Amino acid sequence: MIKIDGKQIIGFSLTAEGTDRFHSYNPALGVPLEYSFVKATVREADLACEKAASAFQVYRKKSGNDKAMFLDAIAQEIFLLGDALIEVCCRETALPKARIEGERGRTINQLRLFARVLREGSWRDARIETAEPGRVPVPKPDIRSLHTGVGPVVVFGASNFPLAFSVAGGDTASALAAGCPVIVKVHSAHPATGELVGKAIQRAAQSTYMPDGVFSMLHGDGSVIGTQLVKNKHMKAVGLTGSFQAGKALFDIAAQREEPIPVYAEMGSSNPVFVLPEAMKLNAARISQGYSASVTLGVGQFCTNPGLLFHQQGDGSSEFISQIKTEFEKTTGGAMLTENIFKSYTTSVARHASRQEVELLAIGARGEGAHYASPALFKTQGDTLYSNPELSEEVFGPASVVVEMKTKNELLEAARNLKGHLTATVHGTEHDLAAYTELLAILEQKAGRIVINAFPTGVEVCHAMVHGGPYPATTDGRSTSVGTAAIYRFTRPVCYQDMPSPWLPPELQNENPLGVWRLINGEWTKDRI
Amino acid sequence: MIKIDGKQIIGFSLTAEGTDRFHSYNPALGVPLEYSFVKATVREADLACEKAASAFQVYRKKSGNDKAMFLDAIAQEIFLLGDALIEVCCRETALPKARIEGERGRTINQLRLFARVLREGSWRDARIETAEPGRVPVPKPDIRSLHTGVGPVVVFGASNFPLAFSVAGGDTASALAAGCPVIVKVHSAHPATGELVGKAIQRAAQSTYMPDGVFSMLHGDGSVIGTQLVKNKHMKAVGLTGSFQAGKALFDIAAQREEPIPVYAEMGSSNPVFVLPEAMKLNAARISQGYSASVTLGVGQFCTNPGLLFHQQGDGSSEFISQIKTEFEKTTGGAMLTENIFKSYTTSVARHASRQEVELLAIGARGEGAHYASPALFKTQGDTLYSNPELSEEVFGPASVVVEMKTKNELLEAARNLKGHLTATVHGTEHDLAAYTELLAILEQKAGRIVINAFPTGVEVCHAMVHGGPYPATTDGRSTSVGTAAIYRFTRPVCYQDMPSPWLPPELQNENPLGVWRLINGEWTKDRI
């Protein structure tokens, strides 16, 4: 029997001061679950922030090894939750067991990857300029810099990744790695999953001697308790994966604080796919299959799900369309994550279908259940897209729009008119790519990741990943929310002038006791000085 | 005879469409100069932005070597301006010749330093993860990322550094290095200096075959033409060194755009200095001399000028105060940069002097001239500082406040109550530092640069410098405005998945043709793949 307390996790305590309660929900059956939760009060939110601020003073000084032990312990505690976590998570999200198991693996691997980064230590970007006391006209001082955590971070869990982008997800892992305490506002679509994971983090913090307050987790409404957290003066940055509305609202609140703070909101996008002429002729079947699978994977509930496909009128275009139609009709939908997501999806699909000059090209099978969505594929022309800009916007779910452009110039113009996206995909032979080099140059200004002859769903957690992109895909296109470079979202550089060695962080001491890479007088080296 | 056109530099053209004119001004004599300028029109601002957007498409693809040639050519053209530049700049700013010559050297060296960074090439932070097609359950794709310019940048020149933080200053150098066209709103305190330097950049752009529009420079009011530039959709980032009012206003405008963009405003601070007990006793003379010199250097018109000195009541404190008084009385003021700056300084000093429990400890000599300021040193107690928070705020000019704290705890509490600053300085013996380790831990959260046993004026241009700090010292504490790391203010990461080699930037090609450092599967190396 899985025990769910339904309380706030505030540092090493569990509290439930509020009176407002909610239940978690089984979206596949459309019925409430037995798990009941108390929404956090303003006082609890403030307490979590104060604890985080105190904890920061201790946690920021923890060594890379100590923080690595903490992250590894979180990974281990999540692993030890075993089937209970999978079961609860499946019930709350209607996502299939294999998907949740995969996501658990990803979450654990992500934590362990950051732990390795911390143990290796070079992430701090240590830079040293040695003194030249004899320099004229003025002596050169000794200057040494590195990155340090900004302070406590608010993380908003995403509905669509109940593990990998939620309580112990990418934002939490990168903030903790950076040396920042974390307060998670758990998504109300999977609060029991959140509690299991949150308690795993709490246990890991205690077993590795981390300070009380290094992690807290609150239940409640984003617009109430989330806003309260973002406004709290102790909080120094915000991470969110969610809707444009939620992300932009938090961005505005954070910008209007007495002390503005950065908001890293990954708000999704429609991830355009461009199919170039030769590839369209030669690889119609492979592209159609891959595209249909990518649109409908996980009932289309991925921020990288491709919502637009551009191709060019010409030889083979009608065959390509009929091939896509055939492939898409083989797809199957499924239960969506929440009732609201389901309603929003069906409304958007109906609105698309009602537009003049937009044709419903294909629908997939629905499956049976409460909030089961059918995949829907639309078809239109470039002109229609211009006069209906909403067609270019993300529909969260298994829907996509195939857009036929008349000419190469029209295709390039469509690319130029794109707003910011997380990804942009091009299918082309070498001959196509040579003929459309300009398209690649445009797209790399529009997206964080350019995908060639593959599909954007599936975001590899690694050192080189950029999961981000220009606004409005995110509120801050200068960073990534996936991969190890995400650590820099929660850091700032600080430098020390003429600081005696004992008071320098070890990464900056002459002896290089941690053996990290350092930029010494302009040369990268692991040498000591 | 120095010819000043008084026009806008818009790419390779000079234009003067407006009717509103102004003169530059000799602040030492308090009289207008013969140089006359036309303020830019909205149409000219928009044209500059459009040209910048077009130029970006060419400039962003320039090799590191090509951009380095451009930056070196700017340095050379500035050098070739010879004495004419020095003469005009001295007349417009009342700064002494040696100071302007020094600043020219700094400006030229800064451009050449960025040129070296571009030639070396590793700044792009190339990261490569090679594919594992056989990985189960899903193959690992090939993922390669690097940093790329964000797009056209608006730069606001600073009044107090007519060369090093102005038309060809740090923001311009780092933005051009990052691959971003620049539009400068030249400060109206040195428009002729700006024109000479702006034309030097224009000539350099032409002689090195850079695209028309890679650089523009406009005259006019920040609140009119500056705002117009920041609102223009083509502009993707803003750099400013100036007042809190100016920086915060631009930050708000940029945050409220349809597409919000980052603003890097370096807004100055009061740069607290802490003198610890043993150092106070042992080094009173050296500290008093250095402090008085730092407060009054360049008539106190540095963003790193120390506006607060904290010390602790105890053995030797009255001797320390009398020593400071003696040293400060030896200082001399001078002409301030503009009439407004002078007025603002005298108002602030009068306001300090009028406060109860604030004592005017010492004044320096004034010198003779129109806008000549006298250095002013005040003395007060910790309690008074708490009840008069304005005392902690920056006074732009040669004024400072010595604050006596009763106890160590009071001193630490004063540090905890600090807002964000560019620098924080500690004078202490090894024994002091050991006893005040907590102070260092507090200060590194409050400032971008911690200075030990020296003074904050003088900002070394190097790889390790952090000239920045938490809000309100800047609007973005995650970066530096001085040193080579400033390049990342104007970049964003982009990654390529399964991109065939010919379409990858050279830094990401297997052969590593540029020989740059790359993070390949988690290991930093210069090897090819």
CATH code, domain with A120: 3.40.605.10
Residue A118 within a domain: yes
Residue A82 has pLDDT above 70, yes or no: yes
pLDDT-derived band at B249 (thresholds 50, 70, 90) equals very high
pLDDT tens string A8-32: 999 999 999 999 999 999 998 989 9
Cβ-proximal residues to A68 (8 Å cutoff; 6+ apart), any chain = A114, A115, A116, A118, A119
pLDDT-derived band at A335 (thresholds 50, 70, 90) equals very high
B303 in active site? yes
Chain B CB contacts of A470 under 8 Å are: 259, 492
pLDDT of residue B216: 98
Residue A459 within a domain: no
Residues A191 and A170 occupy one common structural domain: yes
CA distance A139 to chain B (A): 10
Which of A471, A492, A495 shows the shortest C-beta gap to B465?
A: A495
Q: Mark which of B452, B471, B506 sits at the end of a domain.
A: B452
Note whether B450 contacts A497, CB cutoff 8 Å.
yes
Cβ-proximal residues to B136 (8 Å cutoff; 6+ apart), any chain = none
pLDDT tens string B162-177: 999 999 999 999 999 9
Asked whether A514 and A506 are in contact (CB, 8 A), the reply is: yes
Residues B250 and B385 occupy one common structural domain: no
Residue A368 has pLDDT above 90, yes or no: no
Read off the CATH number of the domain in which A410 is found. 3.40.309.10
A329, burial (CB in 10 Å: exposed 0-12, middle 13-18, buried 19+): middle
Residue A1 has pLDDT above 70, yes or no: no
B408, burial (CB in 10 Å: exposed 0-12, middle 13-18, buried 19+): middle
Tally of structural domains, chain B: 2
Residue B359 has pLDDT above 90, yes or no: yes
Residues B284 and B420 occupy one common structural domain: yes
Residues B128 and B201 occupy one common structural domain: yes
pLDDT of residue B469: 97
Residue A197 within a domain: yes
pLDDT-derived band at A2 (thresholds 50, 70, 90) equals confident
A303 in active site? yes
Searching chain B, which residue's CA lies closest to the CA of residue A99? B137
B489: closest CA among B268, B233, B209, B182?
B182
Residue B369 within a domain: yes
Residue B414 within a domain: yes
Q: Are strands A399-405 and A308-312 parallel, antiparallel or unpaired?
A: parallel
Angle in degrees, CA B210, B215, B218, rounded to 5: 155
CA distance A525 to chain B (A): 10
Q: How far apart are CA B104 and CA A491, in angstroms?
A: 33
Residues A189 and A226 occupy one common structural domain: yes
Which of A444, A463, A475 shows the shortest C-beta gap to B127?
A: A463
Mean pLDDT of B242-262: 97
Q: Among residues B303, B327, B404, B507, which one is catalytic? A: B303
pLDDT-derived band at B489 (thresholds 50, 70, 90) equals very high
Residues B349 and B398 occupy one common structural domain: yes
pLDDT of residue B333: 93
Residues B181 and B284 occupy one common structural domain: no
pLDDT of residue A90: 96
Angle in degrees, CA A124, B142, A164, rounded to 5: 60
Angle of helix A170-178 relative to helix A64-80, nearest 10 degrees, comes to 150
- Say whether B510 sits in a helix, a strand or coil: coil
Chain B CB contacts of A453 under 8 Å are: 498
Q: Are strands B399-405 and B308-312 parallel, antiparallel or unpaired?
A: parallel
Residues A279 and A258 occupy one common structural domain: no
**A391's tokens:** 């067609």
Q: Between the CA of residue A463 and those of A69, A116, A121, A127, A210, what are the distances in Å?
A: 20, 11, 14, 21, 26
Query: pTM (2 decimals)?
Result: 0.97
Q: How far apart are CA A6 and CA A22, in angstroms?
A: 9
Q: Among residues A44, A77, A103, A266, which one is catalytic? A: A266
Q: How far apart are CA B322 and CA B520, in angstroms?
A: 61
pLDDT of residue B1: 66
Q: Between the CA of residue A472 and those of A244, A357, A441, B284, B516, what are the distances in Å?
A: 7, 27, 19, 56, 33
Residues B149 and B293 occupy one common structural domain: no
Write down the H helix ranges in B94-235. 97-120, 170-178, 191-207, 227-231
Write out the residue range of the structural domain in which residue B277 sits: 273-452
Q: What is the rounded average pLDDT for all residues in chain B?
A: 96
pLDDT tens string A488-497: 999 999 999 9
Residues A250 and A399 occupy one common structural domain: no
Residues A290 and A215 occupy one common structural domain: no
Mean pLDDT of B43-72: 98
Residues B149 and B99 occupy one common structural domain: yes
H or E element in which residue B394 lies: none
Residue B505 within a domain: no
Residue B203 within a domain: yes
Q: How far apart are CA A56 and CA A47, in angstroms?
A: 14
Q: How far apart are CA B458 and CA B385, in angstroms?
A: 27
Chain A CB contacts of B255 under 8 Å are: 251-252, 255, 260
Chain A CB contacts of B491 under 8 Å are: 478
Residue A528 within a domain: no
Sign of CA dihedral A248, B488, B12, A437: negative
Cβ-proximal residues to B490 (8 Å cutoff; 6+ apart), any chain = B149, B150, B153, B174, B175, B178, B179, B180, B237, B239
| Torsion angle of C-alpha atoms A74, A75, A77, A83, degrees rounded to 10 | 140
CB atoms under 10 Å from CB of B61, counted, come to 12
pLDDT-derived band at B464 (thresholds 50, 70, 90) equals very high
pLDDT-derived band at B128 (thresholds 50, 70, 90) equals very high
Kindly state the percentage of chain A with pLDDT values over 90: 95
Note whether A454 contacts B145, CB cutoff 8 Å.
no
